[in-house]
Amino acid sequence: MTLLEVRNLSAGYGQFQALFDVSLNVNEGAAIAVIGANGAGKSTLLKSIAGVVDVIFGEIIFDGESIVNLQPHERLNRGIALVPEGRRIFRSLTVDENLSIGAYSRRQGVWNRELVYEVFPMLAKLTDRRADKLSGGEQQALAIGRALMSNPRLLLLDEVSLGLAPIIVKKLYEILPRIRATGCSLIYVEQDTNQALSASEYAYCLLEGQVSLEGKPADLSREQIASAYFGIGVNK
Ligand code: ATP
């Protein structure tokens, strides 16, 4: 069943248009990758779905209803949680306090502090530590854990691997199927194409605010991905 349908979306910042006619589908329980170069519009797409960027035109249907006019907190209450690029955790609060804030939406579901600590054992030992004293990987785990506390049906992950050592990225990605197993759909935005494609069943590539390629990762050749990513030989 389709959980999220983005139809012909155009969005941007004031006078600046960053997305042009973007369409995307996410089935319930699916993992979708959105790849593309710096500035392609990946974060803008996630932020449009979460409601923090102005939509100029188009439709966003979630669970059969239009959410395009809903505020970010209303979308969170319906089950759309964003883990923003740069983590944006509350740096002066402890791990435990950050998780409490994540539970604010009070949606019913399996996620609670205990399950977050079980899934992210690296956080379980650090419950009283201030977030600004955590390593980059621990902060990213906390950002994901905080979003899970809202019991999302759709988790939007913006550049999970940015600035982290490969071993830490591997660890975080190993945890994602566990999240999916709770019925939560995932959209990964990554500049690290290999990481995102290997963890997803369908992928979209953005180029200058438009979908330049889409398909199942296994069906996409390296040449297709390179040209859709960098715009080489793409007809416009
Ligand atoms: P990155 O990986 O660098 O974050 P991205 O693919 O996520 O790239 P976006 O962050 O969505 O790209 O940016 C798309 C376009 O929108 C870029 O041209 C960027 O400069 C512009 N942009 C992003 N945020 C803002 C903003 N707050 N105000 C104005 N323009 C913005």
Q: Which of 3.40.50.300, 2.60.40.1120, 3.50.50.60, 3.60.130.10 is the CATH number of 2-88+153-230?
A: 3.40.50.300
Distances 91 to 98, 99, 143 between C-alpha atoms, Å: 9, 12, 11
pLDDT of 201 over the 60 cut: yes
CA–CA distance, 167 with 174 (Å, rounded to integer): 11
3-state SS of 20-42?
A: EEEEEEEECCCEEEEEECCCCCH
CA–CA distance, 76 with 4 (Å, rounded to integer): 14
Distance 19 CA to ligand 1 centre (A): 10
Q: Pick the closest to residue 130 from 118, 139, 117 (CA basis).
A: 139
pLDDT tens across 7-42, in order?
999 999 999 999 999 999 999 999 999 999 999 999
Q: Report which DSSP code applies to 130.
A: B
Distances 123 to 34, 84, 179 between C-alpha atoms, Å: 28, 19, 16
Q: What is the residue extent of each domain of the chain?
A: 2-88+153-230
Name the residue with higher pLDDT: 107 or 159: 159
Residue 233: which pLDDT band, with cuts at 50, 70 and 90?
Answer: low
* For the CA of 36, the nearest atom of ligand 1: 6
pLDDT of 116 over the 80 cut: yes
Distances 175 to 77, 121, 122, 130, 171 between C-alpha atoms, Å: 24, 11, 12, 23, 7
Residue 236: which pLDDT band, with cuts at 50, 70 and 90?
Answer: very low
Residue 107: which pLDDT band, with cuts at 50, 70 and 90?
Answer: confident
Ligand 1 binding pocket includes 193 (Cβ within 6 Å): no
Distance 41 CA to ligand 1 centre (A): 6
CA–CA distance, 94 with 51 (Å, rounded to integer): 27
Pocket mutation for ligand 1, best pick of 38, 42, 82, 204 (most atoms within 8 Å of C-beta): 42
* For the CA of 45, the nearest atom of ligand 1: 11
Ligand 1 binding pocket includes 27 (Cβ within 6 Å): no
Q: What are the DSSP calls for 151-173, one per residue? A: --SEEEEE-TTTT--HHHHHHHH
- Residue 113 structure tokens: 């502090």
pLDDT tens across 51-102, in order?
999 899 999 999 999 999 999 999 999 999 999 987 788 999 999 999 998 8
Pocket mutation for ligand 1, best pick of 9, 13, 156, 161 (most atoms within 8 Å of C-beta): 13
Question: For the whole model, what pTM was predicted?
Answer: 0.94
